[in-house]
Structure 1
Amino acid sequence: MSMNMYERAQKVIPPAAGRATQIGVVRGEGSYLYSEEGKKYLDFASGVAVCNVGHNHPEVVNAAINQIQTLIHGGHNVVYYESYISLAEKLVELTGNNTMVYFSNSGAEANEGSVKLAKYVSERPAVISFMGSFHGRTIGTISLTASSSAYRKNYEGLLPSIYFAAYPYCFRCPFKQKQGACGMECLEQFDNIFTHLIDPYKVAAIIMEPVAGEGGYIVPPVDFVQGLSKICDKYGICLIFDEIQTGFGRTGKMFAYKHYGIQPDIMSCAKGIASGFPLSAVIGKEEIMRQWPAGAHGGTFGGNPVACAASLATIKLLEEKLIDNAVEMGNYLKNRLFELKEKYAVIGDVRGLGLMVGLELVDENKNPNGNLVKKILGHCQQKGLILLSCGTYKQVIRFIAPTTVTRTEIDEALAILDEGISNNI
């Protein structure tokens, strides 16, 4: 009897990269994946927020094929080519026409590049990140990550001069305040950090996810984000937004920073940028980027011609109608989840922007209930729905449907979820 993909993988692939399922897939189309056994799965993971316009969108596929037929690799540190320049121009247009763009391959690379840029330009040593954050798996980016000690285990010592602030997690306020009736202690903490830990004029950057991803799909208050921007301006600190998961229509806007009425100094992008082709970007304000001289950063495969062509096609689809659909379907999804919250006491919180939505499950004492999440996700997978968890205790079910999702598909997913909750409480 022949082995399936999972069984074959155990012989040749190390366990380092954990996987959420044991499903072997042979095809993807729209909101669905098809397994080697012929089973159809509704995919509300979207490759972890990568396939934002659905699996194998025909316009993205055609753009990639057309580019493959003319140039597969040129080397952006050797020559210039059209898809690279056109995509940079488009991203500058989308971010206010006051930016410049550097392309690399992965989200971790983009975050490393963003921090390198801030350090180079400021000539300052320190970076402040947030508890619960996730910024990547390289030595530099796990130094900035604080969502799980497992990511850092056995890799100490890490990048020096990294400090951590509490993320504004209103459902579980780290300062024990009531939502909507607090004194913004989450902003006041920076006075303490600057007094007791690091002089603000030694801080190169504060890096923040505008919606916490791995940390639990947490949406910070607008007042906090605007206040943080003012703190950065006061001390000449670069504000870096990690938009790797939040970018490219995921939150109902092209970039999540647009929800907050501010513009970060530097922004890292990846995941949904090219519908699955490896590509990432550091987007920084022009006055900062022009201080980054030749040779200060680089790479071989960044800005691959095919990936850039796929990105241009992806952005076109998002602009034409799919961001609007993300807003409409995101609101529909959240309203349906709020209905489930009224039905089940184990649902502690529903939160999110656009189609980046989290459902936090709790026990009878309102503590994080990761065990229940695991059981429910197992049920959903068995019934043909792929969902992922997040949060430090894996207590949050995250919904990452593609921006092409329909009401019928959302209804299909929530019927399975409803049954999964009912059967496991």
Structure 2
Amino acid sequence: MTSPHIKTELPGPRARAMIARDAEVISPSYPRDYPFVMAHGRGTQVWDVDGNRFLDFAAGIAVCATGHAHPQVVAAVKAAADEFLHISSDYWHEQMTALGERLAAVAPTRTIGNEPAMSFLCQSGTEAVEGALKLARYVTGRPRFMGFLGGFHGRTMGSLSFTSSKYTQQLGFAPTMPGVTHAPYPNPYRPLFAGDDQGKAVLDYLRMLFERNVPASEVAAILVEPLQGEGGYVVPPTGFLAGLRALCDQHGILLIFDEVQSGVGRTGRMFACEHAGVVPDIMTLAKGLGSGLPIGAVVARRSLMSQWKRGAHGNTYGGNPLSCAAANATLDLVGGGLVDNAATVGAHFMQGLRTLQQDYACIGEVRGQGLMIGMELIETDGEKTPAGRLCDDVVTRAFHNGLLLLSCGVSTVRFMPPLNVSIAEVDEAIDLLKTSLDQALALASGR
């Protein structure tokens, strides 16, 4: 039985017409998973152009942190638009400076490490990563970098050289930026190394690389997601990030945390690295920072960013007044209660999924922090074989049942609803998920 809020076949007639128009004029490179054509949204609920209502547990890929069209964010953007739309980052304005002050106040360098922070503002996560890489090379004078398999850091040529969650992201674009070496990301559910401590094993692997292949004295920075996103919503083992920090300190290497997806309250803390109490040298932000408006940020220790000379890095739209206004309003809302809601409702959500897991052998693991939750699906062969096709079917059936989801990794359904999602909406989503699982399993058994 599908959701009573689905009124037409999917896609409906207006959606089909829009998709046909789009196919004539828009690049086919966008990885669109199912035919949802949005008309409007409020909070966690969205409606398509045919009047069908959905629960949005994808949130624009974790972008709509405060839900769709939050009135406080909308009001801030409208007020900024009434003043001026653009002045360029060659000049100063209140929204940009205020956002820098807000980011400095909440940055892990200050809240954990007691060191002031400075920010460089841009438009997206990939641009933030590019800025972080440039800063690391600039201040260290070193040419090399380390990244992790399964990571996603963007699609521009520098960030793409680190991105390795799917080979299709690099297919056809080689050579990317040289000097990047990848190591495995520690995954306790799918260990690559012998022993129980996968975090220690990966750290030992990095030490071996430094001894045999990559001179540590040439490495500018290690770039890592403190909770891996596109690679499968993998939570690293306790102690891994602290060990990485110690390894970087030993060799004078900078530690860059990519918090583009995990930051701004998503994990039930302002930043995912706060769960481990580890301070990065540089951090990248985007996605949830602007509640839907395009904005990114490189946040770094002041002792590092202050070394950039005039003109060393810049952009035209960085610090755009509308995006900064949205970000300032977002930080007000996240700090004013939404981060706590993410922790509370996220714990309820995880428990609901783990209860569901008891009835479905295909649910191999439920993992995550706050409202960044993954449910890995497996074949029931006793080998934990990833069930990629089942995962795709569950996501598709969920759409037809009125629940918007995305996948990640090889066979993980991910849940990233707005941070103001309610327990009632989570319970409704779990009911729709159960229906979708049943339908996908029935489809698989009939093949």
TM-score where L is the length of structure 2? 0.92
Q: Which residue of 2 aligns with 1:188?
A: 204
Matched, 1:170 2:173: no
Q: Which residue of 2 aligns with 1:16?
A: 29
Q: Which residue of 2 aligns with 1:44?
A: 57
**Cα deviation, residue 183, structure 1:** 7.9
Which of 116, 133, 139 is the matching residue for 2:157?
139
Matched, 1:56 2:69: yes
Question: One-letter code of the match for 2:139?
Answer: V
Secondary structure of the equivalent of 2:368? Answer: strand
Q: How many residues get paired?
A: 420
Question: One-letter code of the match for 2:76?
Answer: A
Q: Which residue of 2 aligns with 1:369?
A: 387
Q: Deviations over 1:172-228 (max 9, x none)?
A: 0111433xx568211111111101111111000000001100000001123010000
Matched, 1:83 2:101: no
Question: One-letter code of the match for 2:347?
Answer: N
Question: One-letter code of the match for 1:44?
Answer: F
Which of 281, 290, 295 is the matching residue for 2:306?
290
**Cα deviation, residue 171, structure 1:** 0.5
Contiguous gaps of at least 5 residues in structure 1: none
Question: One-letter code of the match for 1:329?
Answer: V
Q: Deviations over 1:255-311 (max 9, x none)?
A: 111111111000000000011111100000011111111111111001100100111
Question: One-letter code of the match for 1:106?
Answer: S
Question: One-letter code of the match for 2:86?
Answer: H
Checking the alignment, whether the CA contact within 8 Å between 2:34 and 2:396 is kept in structure 1 is no
* Separation (CA, whole Å) in 1 of partners of 2:100 and 2:369: 26
Matched, 1:237 2:253: yes
Q: Which residue of 2 aligns with 1:404?
A: 420
Matched, 1:220 2:236: yes
Q: Which residue of 2 aligns with 1:329?
A: 345
Question: One-letter code of the match for 1:94?
Answer: V
Q: Which residue of 1 aligns with 2:407?
A: 389
* Separation (CA, whole Å) in 2 of partners of 1:74 and 1:358: 41
Matched, 1:259 2:275: yes
* Separation (CA, whole Å) in 2 of partners of 1:143 and 1:135: 9
* Separation (CA, whole Å) in 2 of partners of 1:222 and 1:232: 17
**Cα deviation, residue 375, structure 1:** 1.0
* Separation (CA, whole Å) in 1 of partners of 2:360 and 2:195: 25
Matched, 1:114 2:132: yes
Secondary structure of the equivalent of 2:350? Answer: helix
* Separation (CA, whole Å) in 1 of partners of 2:26 and 2:199: 50
**Cα deviation, residue 423, structure 1:** 2.6
Q: Deviations over 1:59-96 (max 9, x none)?
A: 0000000000012111112x100000000001000011
Sequence identity percentage: 40
* Separation (CA, whole Å) in 2 of partners of 1:362 and 1:58: 41
Runs of 4 or more consecutive aligned structure 1 residues displaced over 4 Å after TM superposition: none
Checking the alignment, whether the CA contact within 8 Å between 2:377 and 2:412 is kept in structure 1 is yes
Checking the alignment, whether the CA contact within 8 Å between 2:198 and 2:237 is kept in structure 1 is no
Q: Deviations over 1:88-118 (max 9, x none)?
A: 0010000116110000111000000000000
Secondary structure of the equivalent of 2:358? Answer: helix
Question: One-letter code of the match for 1:379?
Answer: R
Secondary structure of the equivalent of 1:321? Answer: helix
Checking the alignment, whether the CA contact within 8 Å between 1:4 and 1:24 is kept in structure 2 is no
Question: One-letter code of the match for 1:383?
Answer: N
Checking the alignment, whether the CA contact within 8 Å between 1:6 and 1:23 is kept in structure 2 is no
**Cα deviation, residue 424, structure 1:** 2.6
Q: Which residue of 2 aligns with 1:415?
A: 431
Question: One-letter code of the match for 1:108?
Answer: T
* Separation (CA, whole Å) in 1 of partners of 2:253 and 2:427: 45
Secondary structure of the equivalent of 2:239? Answer: helix
Matched, 1:380 2:398: yes
TM-score where L is the length of structure 1? 0.97
Checking the alignment, whether the CA contact within 8 Å between 2:263 and 2:270 is kept in structure 1 is yes
Q: Deviations over 1:25-78 (max 9, x none)?
A: 11011001110000001000000000011000000000000000012111112x
Q: Which residue of 2 aligns with 1:104?
A: 122
Q: Which residue of 2 aligns with 1:129?
A: 147
Secondary structure of the equivalent of 1:301? Answer: coil
